[in-house]
Chains A and B, each alone.
Chain A
Amino acid sequence: MYTKDGESYFIVDAHVALWDARRENQRNVHGEQFIDCFYDYHRNLSPESELWGHEEFLYAGGERLMKDLFTDGYVDHAIFQPAYLGEFYKTGFGQTEEAFALSQAHPDKLTYNHNFDPRNGEAGLDQLRADAERFGLQGVKLYTAEWHGDSRGWSMRDPWTYRYLEVCREVGIKNIHIHKGPTIRPLDRDAFDVADIDSCASDFTDLNFIVEHVGLPRLEDFCWIATQEPNVHGGLAVAMPFIHSRPRYFAQIIGELLYWIGEDRIQFSSDYSIWTPRWLVERFVDFQIPEDMTEYAPLTLAQKKKILGLNAASMYGIEVPEHLRLPEDLADSGETATGPREPAAGDRDSLVGAGR
């Protein structure tokens, strides 16, 4: 919980990881390249006071995670979204056993999501059933750019993916988090293309599809798909830290999301441990759309509360103390709407008019 100016916010960090990218766990040069890429994101977008050294960035460990998220970071509940990356790291990138053990020790604070890879075929389907039972899975994190033998990526449209989604349905996994990365298949396509999400969201209307990084670098394509599909949501991992170095861009991201998909389908996350939640929560509560960006409506208190935690809490059935909920008249009906949000956001008068 975070409190400022008499208002209290329930915080769900919807995308965190406990990774091990230390040398001894790197399988090859790609393991080093991958974590260095993350570290450059960290260095490029963090305030100086929040910078980590390279060594500590390679592995945070459970104790530090608990401190950074819950002691220092105002987080009430966090959700593990592990990437496997078995081709790059010996025991994988996300540390399954360590993270799951933590979530078992702190079930009120942590939810463990796992992953699957449709290229594992029939055996993977059985594994998914077993994982769902062992971990009590509500969600999975999928990384379509994952390497697998000679394959350098897969699509949400693949027939095998559909078989896995059918098993998700069967075992009660409702929340499908998808991270787009630079897959090289299909080679002649845009590697970050989010179009495949459109198909599976239409075909599995009883599942939630949370597109991590709000589709960045394909924000516009994500917005267009998400505005038409009520079960497509946006996770703010990687988008959040722009609040520091590129606040105008951040305002545009939030402004576009609120316009196209509305306030009920956006989820806060720090993407720990690329960033830590404390400063992101503080900054977001203080944040406002710059005055001169009249094409976007100002952020409301209710919108901030929903984004910071209430939306993800509702998706994951996380109990929110009464005093941290929204008053009835501000809460939504639970149904998400489609189509651009009118009229407050971005109508022509607010674009050209001087005042608000």
Chain B
Amino acid sequence: MTTFLPDPLAPPLEDRLLDVDPRTRHTGLAREAYDALDVVLDPELDEPVTDLGFVRSLAVAPGSHGSTDVEVHLRLPTSFCSPSFAYLMAGDAQDVLTALEWTGRVVVELDEHHDSAVINAGLASGSGWAGTYAAEEASSLEELRATFRRKAHTAAMERCLTDLLRADDTLTEEALADVVLGDLAAGEHRDALLRRREALGLRTDDEAPVLVDAAGVPHPREQVPMALRRARSTRVSVDGNAHFCRGLLRTRYPGSDADQTRRADGSEPADTTYHAATPTTAQKETQR
């Protein structure tokens, strides 16, 4: 059994290279399993658990009938992170690993969370979210997921439009009403926006207007500046939360920065990964 827990004897972080892609520390089937977790997102932060450093360990071992068992431990920035998000990520991780054709027994456990016992028992018995919290009359988590998918789109849209405003002094906010996808410069921000639009089922052709609501409807021209401001507050929130959560994880689990990719949006000099040369979350997403 191979484990990837942080090595307590490792030299202090500053003496290590943060420029190593966390994925490359896994090989063979373990690497395949780790890569599969790239689609498991923290819905609020709009980033994969593999980029956030939430995968604490991943181990593979021979299973029955030629299959391979996988055991994954997840960790979160605080023990009081929201149980709904925690369950969502752990449940998704279990689903994608189970879907791999070579996996046998799949164990996903959430470590050191205030509701670890309940969540882990629910995952192990396959009772699902509603079954796990039956006493609380839980319904589906899909609306929660949809809310944050919309926020992720809003933030991606704002980044693209603010890029345009900063690049062109003559462009007014009202004029953003006329901006279409084809006007956006190629790059990470545009790629990210296209993916978020796809997730919402919105148009992705060059003629599609950029500043739209979650249903793809453009705003009346006079409301464009306000729509941009609202989108900006969403982007500020997503970036701020993402970096705060990443920072808290590093505080709670020393050395976990080695498991985090660099998030360029909202990055500040105090971030240990600020100068790292690892691919950013957005670059990685583009490569996938």
Question: B4-12, B61-69, B183-191, B225-233: which lies at the A interface?
Answer: B225-233
A195 to chain B, nearest CB (A): 11
Give A23-49 as 1s and 0s: 1 = Cβ < 8 Å from B's Cβ atoms. 000000010011011001101110000
Find out whether the CB atom of A44 lies under 8 angstroms from the CB atom of B248.
Answer: yes
Q: Tally B residues with Cβ within 8 Å of A.
A: 58
User: Does B171 lie at the interface of the complex (its beta carbon under 8 Å from any beta carbon of A)?
Assistant: yes
Query: In whole angstroms, how far apart are the Cα atoms of A150 and B169 in the complex?
Result: 58
User: Does B252 lie at the interface of the complex (its beta carbon under 8 Å from any beta carbon of A)?
Assistant: yes
Query: In whole angstroms, how far apart are the Cα atoms of A301 and B152 in the complex?
Result: 36
Give the interface SS of chain B, mostly helix, strand, loop or mixed: helix
Find out whether the CB atom of B147 lies under 8 angstroms from the CB atom of A190.
Answer: yes
User: Does A252 lie at the interface of the complex (its beta carbon under 8 Å from any beta carbon of B)?
Assistant: yes
Chain B hits for A191, CB < 8 A: 82-85
Contact residue among A40, A218, A224, A249 (Cβ-Cβ distance under 8 Å from B239): A249
Give A43-71 as 1s and 0s: 1 = Cβ < 8 Å from B's Cβ atoms. 11100000000000000000000000000
Contact residue among A33, A219, A354 (Cβ-Cβ distance under 8 Å from B237): A219
User: Does A172 lie at the interface of the complex (its beta carbon under 8 Å from any beta carbon of B)?
Assistant: no
Query: In whole angstroms, how far apart are the Cα atoms of A34 and B168 in the complex?
Result: 48
A262 to chain B, nearest CB (A): 14
Among A45, A187, A260, max chain B CB count under 10 A is at A187
Chain A hits for B15, CB < 8 A: none
Find out whether the CB atom of B147 lies under 8 angstroms from the CB atom of A256.
Answer: no
Find out whether the CB atom of B240 lies under 8 angstroms from the CB atom of A246.
Answer: yes
User: Does B236 lie at the interface of the complex (its beta carbon under 8 Å from any beta carbon of A)?
Assistant: yes
List residues 298-356 of chain A with CB under 8 A from any CB of chain B: 340, 346-348, 351-354
Question: A114-122, A134-142, A160-168, A178-186: which lies at the B interface?
Answer: A178-186
Query: In whole angstroms, how far apart are the Cα atoms of A143 and B161 in the complex?
Result: 38
A190-B144, A220-B234, A253-B240 as given contacts; A185 in contact with B136, CB under 8 Å = yes
Find out whether the CB atom of A40 lies under 8 angstroms from the CB atom of B83.
Answer: no
Chain A hits for B78, CB < 8 A: 37, 40
Query: In whole angstroms, how far apart are the Cα atoms of A213 and B24 in the complex?
Result: 39
Chain A hits for B80, CB < 8 A: 33-34, 37, 181-182
User: Does A247 lie at the interface of the complex (its beta carbon under 8 Å from any beta carbon of B)?
Assistant: yes
Find out whether the CB atom of B268 lies under 8 angstroms from the CB atom of A346.
Answer: no
Chain B hits for A4, CB < 8 A: none
Chain A hits for B233, CB < 8 A: 219-220, 223-224, 256, 260
User: Does B127 lie at the interface of the complex (its beta carbon under 8 Å from any beta carbon of A)?
Assistant: no
User: Does A22 lie at the interface of the complex (its beta carbon under 8 Å from any beta carbon of B)?
Assistant: no
Find out whether the CB atom of A182 lies under 8 angstroms from the CB atom of B270.
Answer: no
Query: In whole angstroms, how far apart are the Cα atoms of A224 and B227 in the complex?
Result: 11
List residues 60-111 of chain B with CB under 8 A from any CB of chain A: 77-85
Chain A hits for B140, CB < 8 A: 188
Contact residue among B141, B169, B174 (Cβ-Cβ distance under 8 Å from A188): B141
Chain B hits for A256, CB < 8 A: 232-233, 236
Give B134-170 as 1s and 0s: 1 = Cβ < 8 Å from A's Cβ atoms. 0111111101100110010000000000100110111
Find out whether the CB atom of B247 lies under 8 angstroms from the CB atom of A187.
Answer: no
Chain A hits for B252, CB < 8 A: 40
Chain A hits for B138, CB < 8 A: 187-188
Q: Using CB atoms, name the residue of chain B closest to A250.
A: B240
Chain B hits for A187, CB < 8 A: 83-84, 129, 133, 136-139
User: Does B241 lie at the interface of the complex (its beta carbon under 8 Å from any beta carbon of A)?
Assistant: yes
User: Does B213 lie at the interface of the complex (its beta carbon under 8 Å from any beta carbon of A)?
Assistant: no
Query: In whole angstroms, how far apart are the Cα atoms of A343 and B133 in the complex?
Result: 49
Find out whether the CB atom of B248 lies under 8 angstroms from the CB atom of A252.
Answer: no
User: Does A3 lie at the interface of the complex (its beta carbon under 8 Å from any beta carbon of B)?
Assistant: no
Find out whether the CB atom of B251 lies under 8 angstroms from the CB atom of A43.
Answer: yes
Query: In whole angstroms, how far apart are the Cα atoms of A184 and B86 in the complex?
Result: 11
* Interface CB pairs A-B, < 8 A, 25: A33-B79, A33-B80, A36-B79, A40-B251, A44-B247, A182-B81, A184-B84, A185-B136, A187-B129, A187-B137, A187-B138, A188-B138, A189-B143, A190-B84, A190-B148, A219-B236, A220-B230, A220-B234, A220-B237, A223-B233, A246-B244, A248-B268, A256-B233, A352-B168, A353-B169
| Chain B residues in the interface with A (C-beta under 8 A) | 44, 77-85, 114-115, 129, 133, 135-141, 143-144, 147-148, 151, 162, 165-166, 168-174, 225-226, 229-230, 232-234, 236-237, 239-241, 243-244, 247-248, 250-252, 266, 268, 270
A36-B79, A220-B233, A352-B171 given; name 14 further pairs at CB < 8 Å.
A30-B114, A190-B84, A191-B85, A216-B240, A219-B236, A245-B247, A246-B270, A252-B240, A256-B232, A348-B173, A351-B165, A351-B173, A352-B168, A352-B169
